Amino acid sequence: MTVMNVRLARRPRRRLISTAAVTAATALGLAGLSACSSSDAADGKGGGNDGKLDVVASFYPMQYLAEQIGGGHVSVRNLTEPGQEPHDLEVSAKQRAQLEESDVAVYLKGLQPSVDEAIDQSGISTKVDAASLTELEKHGSEVGGHAEEHDDHDHDHGGEEGTDPHIWLDPVKYTEVAEGVGKALQKADPDHAADYKKNTAALVKKLDALNTKFEDGLKNTDSKVFITTHAAFGYLAERYGLTEEAISGLDPESEPSAARVKDLQKMAKADGVTTVFYETLVSDKTAKTLAGDAKLKTDVLDPIEGITEKSKGTDYLQVMEANLSALQKALGAK
């Protein structure tokens, strides 16, 4: 595991105007000062967050960690809107300005190039890269021993040298990231370090319990192979002794070759596959076409890149448990 590269000094925060200052002001000065104070509060800059640590998260899994660990001491803003495919995000000029006014950025380098560039160029005090808090691996070129052969496989949204960024779908790796985020918040805001430490421990306990549920729930199944639209579940498959077969590579928008589709149809029959999984933020057309041709069922396996009304739960833990239930049903868990 590499060492987290963050600048830990918290940026000085602007203060709201004191009562004494307002009382001493002239009528004209009072109006001007009040306008400035209201503007800062509305924009969520500095003291406008009621003294809270201003955190920017790149997409939902980072937002979840910041909110769970930060609790009432942080104000968290997500750069990726609910329902937006995070791979496609282009950081706007307004968002770049918001970054400059924030204290902490929590992101996953390699997943969103536009975010990486914006954060690198910002003067934000504490930059927490989730990819530096756990070990990234390569998935997709040969997942579980089955080589993928499709036209656009080499085009992916992985990190350096084509590594798989989907670490949050492995509760153990996500725990490592959570611990790193907790330490960063403690150093960025030492006045509330004890609370951040306590909240981190509580979250780690929940993630440990989730890992145990997956271990027990997938230990005894009829099949160990599952098909997904794109290779988001490589870490999860490796953690629990499964084989992920992706129609496309790490890029959710890439199109598989005819040869790849034919190979998957043969494999599904040989390995007792019952279900083709698709996700909520990407078209299900390819999954349903493959399932129809191979006479298979379809179901949702959510990569939890964002929470929407279509999500099977309101937060990370609930959707992960829904994923577990879907896998158990598809794999014939005992």
Would you say the pTM of this structure is higher than 0.75? Answer: yes
| Closest of 321, 325, 7, 10 to residue 169, by C-alpha | 321
Q: Could you read off the pLDDT of 46-68 as tens digits, one per residue?
A: 444 688 999 999 999 999 999 99
The residue type found at 90 is: E
88-108 per-residue burial string, b: 16 or more CB within 10 A, e: under 16: ebebeeebbebbebbbbbbbb
Per-residue confidence (pLDDT) for residue 176, from 0 to 100: 98
Q: Measure the CA–CA gap between 232 and 228, rounded to whole angstroms.
A: 8
Q: Residue 322 is part of a domain; what is its CATH number?
A: 3.40.50.1980
178 and 261: one domain? Answer: no
188 and 43: one domain? Answer: yes
235 and 299: one domain? Answer: yes
| End residue of a domain, out of 160, 194, 228 | 194
Q: Could you read off the pLDDT of 301-329 as tens digits, one per residue?
A: 999 999 999 999 999 999 999 999 999 99
Q: Which residues contact 229 (CB under 8 A, 6 or more apart)?
A: 246, 247, 248, 252, 276, 277, 278, 279, 282, 284, 286, 287
Per-residue confidence (pLDDT) for residue 36, from 0 to 100: 37
| End residue of a domain, out of 194, 221, 236 | 194
18, 273, 285 from 208: Cα distances, Å: 46, 29, 35
44 and 161: one domain? Answer: yes
Give the domain range for residue 179.
19-194
187 and 220: one domain? Answer: no
64, 176, 218, 241, 327 from 246: Cα distances, Å: 27, 26, 19, 16, 15
Per-residue confidence (pLDDT) for residue 253, from 0 to 100: 55
In a domain, 313, yes or no: yes
169 and 93: one domain? Answer: yes
Q: Measure the CA–CA gap between 91 and 321, rounded to whole angstroms.
A: 32
Per-residue confidence (pLDDT) for residue 254, from 0 to 100: 58
> Tens digit of pLDDT per residue, the chain (334 long)?
443 444 344 444 433 334 444 344 333 343 343 333 333 333 334 444 688 999 999 999 999 999 999 999 999 999 999 989 898 899 999 999 999 999 999 999 999 999 999 999 999 999 999 999 999 999 754 433 333 333 333 334 444 557 999 999 999 999 999 999 999 999 999 999 999 999 999 999 999 999 999 999 999 999 999 999 878 999 999 999 999 998 875 555 556 667 777 888 888 888 889 898 988 777 777 787 788 877 888 899 999 999 999 999 999 999 999 999 999 999 999 9
234-270 per-residue burial string, b: 16 or more CB within 10 A, e: under 16: bbbbbbbebbbbbbbbbbbebebeeebbebbbebbee
171 and 59: one domain? Answer: yes
CA 207 from centre of chain: 15
| End residue of a domain, out of 130, 161, 194 | 194
Q: Measure the CA–CA gap between 184 and 180, rounded to whole angstroms.
A: 6
| Closest of 106, 40, 34, 36 to residue 69, by C-alpha | 106
Number of domains in the chain: 2
In a domain, 204, yes or no: no
Per-residue confidence (pLDDT) for residue 263, from 0 to 100: 83
In a domain, 290, yes or no: yes
309 and 169: one domain? Answer: no
